[in-house]
Chain A
Amino acid sequence: MVANLRFFWALLGMTFKSATSQRGAMLVRAFFSVITHSIYIPVWTVVFSISPDISGWTMQHAFFAYGLSISCWGIVSLLAFGLRTIPEQIDHGEFDSYLTLPRPVLLSAAISSSKNTGLGELLFGTGLIIFCGVHFGMSLVFVPLFLVMGSVVFASGVLLFATFGFWLKQYFASAEEIYFNFSLMASRPAPVFSGVFKVIALTAIPVSLMSHVPIEFVFTHHFPLLGFAILGTLAYAVMAISFFKIGLRHYESGSRFGVRG
């Protein structure tokens, strides 16, 4: 366990060192990432100026949900971008390097790359959360816990869908589409999800665990909700990891030597 922690700490250091070796590109992408997400502020402002209450959701709910979901997206992009590229890594046979090391494959694959837009997303998301705390007087005590839980849910969701790459080739673009929708759904107001969609948002694509349930807890302080979110997060993570382990048995490696496509 200690040896694994030492290795993963060193791996994380290498990943950041590699990502920041192109410092200019990193700063530019982080900056434009903040700009892109800032566009949502006037959008929400206009929407809630027309209708200040959407089935119980107000602007503070929307800002807080967006801040949480985009922060989690940023954390996963920064610390575990490798999860998002699993289908590509499978197609290119890049798991060979992880499989010949005496360390867990999944964590090695996850931590081995970092996306520099993640910094912008994390900065923007946490900025929005802090704005909610200051401007709307919302309690931020549980925010660190929500960020950890939300990142685990998002990482697990990404892992679950990425794992299909062991069976489906050239699946990278499709997987990216799913991850994007995952983040998009998490930032949308909870009342949008009703009926079947609510079930989906709590099970297969549990975006509600990332934002809707934590937000309800912040406003109600109903602790069983928090317990439900924690248990749901853990169950989803266990399911995703188990599915990955099954997929790994189907890894076919491959020879990608000077070829296209």
Chain B
Amino acid sequence: MKTSVRVENLHKFFKIRKKTSLIRSFICPEYQQVQAVDGIGFSLNEGEKVAFVGPNGAGKSTTIKILSGILYPDTGLVEIGGFTPWIDRQKLAFQIGTVFGQRSQLWYHLPAKDTFELLSYAYEMGRNDYKTRVKSLVGEFDAGEIIEKPVRQLSLGERMKCEIIASLLHRPKILFLDEPTVGLDVVSKGVIRDLVKRASDEDGTTVLLTSHDTGDMERVCDRVIVIDHGHLVMDQPVRDLRSGYIREKIVHLAMKETEIDVRMAGVDVIEARPHVLKIKVDTSRTSVEFFLQQAMQKSALVDITVEDPPMEDIIKSIYANGAGRLASS
């Protein structure tokens, strides 16, 4: 598969003022360098959908801004469709679409359709091509009514739909999404995720998405890159995160007996109620299969549910010990 984005040894510093007293800071300010991105490297294949996650201040947005030509890096190599973002910014802009959840490209007092029209000129789209494309996207996003209203009257979810239409208008090969679901309600999040995924699947668009919401990662992406303090901590398929990283399973048992004794190595009872047990199994010490065999010998089980811990816990755990774990793996 063809490489769409290549990043090698990327570094970006920011100069910030040191904390001193108000007077000293005013008369003789001292500065320090903060490393926002510290040697990150990865590549994305065409059509891949990749989540770029990390705690606040990890360097996600800075990296995306370098990739989209907004910021200059201090050192490092970035190649996107054969272009270096900070050198070939205008050529690259035809290849990429960007959505920044915290910033709008729509005109506040005007309907979104006016912004779409302006963007069509920016991307040199033919009039017929533009009309067909807008019609198709508006239909797909069910946004016929909302694009007619002034943007100031739209809800956050409606605005985000319009932002995504604007970013897809010129059929970009790569889509950078920086926290596209921030501030949205559960329903709107689901809609936005489905739309991004569908748009990418249909057009083969490569997606790089930053988010603090693990739902975005699970619903949209095939692969996850975790960074922290500007370093790459983990890079692997989303499906392998559960099986490869987490050594715990949560087992719910419903039984005829009021209670049973399930004590064994690697097994912790999280919750015990009459006829119901919730158990955490450390799979590095005891397999779930072995545990269930033992439980069945002691009880006539009515129902068994085995689940992974929530993705949020997995990510928390990666943030907590990510770097060391990556090194050991």
Cβ proximity bits A112-125 to B, threshold 8 Å, 1 near / 0 not = 00000000000000
Chain A, 204-261, CB within 8 A of any chain B CB = 249, 251-253, 255-257
Is A55 in contact with chain B by the CB < 8 A criterion? no
Hey, which chain A residues are within 8 Å of B124, CB to CB? Answer: 3, 102
Q: How far is the CA of A10 from the CA of B89 in the complex (A)?
A: 21
Hey, which chain B residues are within 8 Å of A251, CB to CB? Answer: 70-71
The minimal Cβ–Cβ distance linking B163 to chain A, given in whole angstroms, is 11
Q: How far is the CA of A75 from the CA of B89 in the complex (A)?
A: 30
The answer to whether A7 and B121 touch (CB under 8 A), given A96-B103, A99-B89, is yes
The minimal Cβ–Cβ distance linking A110 to chain B, given in whole angstroms, is 15
* A22–B109 touching, CB < 8 Å: yes
Q: How far is the CA of A65 from the CA of B90 in the complex (A)?
A: 41
Cβ proximity bits A1-20 to B, threshold 8 Å, 1 near / 0 not = 00100110011001001100
Cβ proximity bits B113-152 to A, threshold 8 Å, 1 near / 0 not = 0110111011110000000000000000000000000100
Closest to A6 in B: B121
The minimal Cβ–Cβ distance linking B249 to chain A, given in whole angstroms, is 38
Q: How far is the CA of A96 from the CA of B103 in the complex (A)?
A: 9
The answer to whether A18 and B110 touch (CB under 8 A), given A100-B93, A101-B93, is yes
* A253–B107 touching, CB < 8 Å: no
Query: Which of A6, A18, A102, A257 counts the most B-chain CB atoms under 10 A from its CB?
Result: A102
Closest to A104 in B: B90
Hey, which chain B residues are within 8 Å of A96, CB to CB? Answer: 65, 70, 98, 100, 103
* A100–B96 touching, CB < 8 Å: yes
* A97–B91 touching, CB < 8 Å: no
Inter-chain residue pair count (beta carbon < 8 A): 75
Cβ proximity bits B87-110 to A, threshold 8 Å, 1 near / 0 not = 001110110101010110101111
The answer to whether A103 and B122 touch (CB under 8 A), given A21-B110, A251-B71, is yes
Is B14 in contact with chain A by the CB < 8 A criterion? yes
Is B205 in contact with chain A by the CB < 8 A criterion? no
Number of interface residues of A (CB under 8 A): 28
How extensive is the interface on chain B, given as a class? 20 to 34
Closest to B179 in A: A257
The answer to whether A99 and B70 touch (CB under 8 A), given A17-B114, A253-B65, is yes
The minimal Cβ–Cβ distance linking A113 to chain B, given in whole angstroms, is 10
Q: How far is the CA of A95 from the CA of B89 in the complex (A)?
A: 13
Is B31 in contact with chain A by the CB < 8 A criterion? no
* B70–A10 touching, CB < 8 Å: no
Chain B, 7-52, CB within 8 A of any chain A CB = 14
Q: How far is the CA of A103 from the CA of B109 in the complex (A)?
A: 23
The answer to whether A100 and B70 touch (CB under 8 A), given A6-B121, A14-B118, A253-B65, is yes
Closest to B103 in A: A96
Hey, which chain A residues are within 8 Å of B206, CB to CB? Answer: none
Cβ proximity bits B52-82 to A, threshold 8 Å, 1 near / 0 not = 0000000001000100111110000000000
Q: How far is the CA of A256 from the CA of B61 in the complex (A)?
A: 13
| Complex A-B: 7 CB contacts under 8 Å | A18-B108, A21-B109, A96-B70, A100-B96, A102-B94, A253-B71, A256-B102
Given contacts A22-B109, A100-B70, 18 further A-B contacts (CB under 8 A): A3-B121, A6-B121, A10-B121, A14-B107, A14-B110, A14-B115, A18-B109, A94-B103, A96-B98, A96-B100, A99-B69, A100-B98, A102-B94, A103-B90, A103-B122, A251-B70, A252-B71, A257-B102
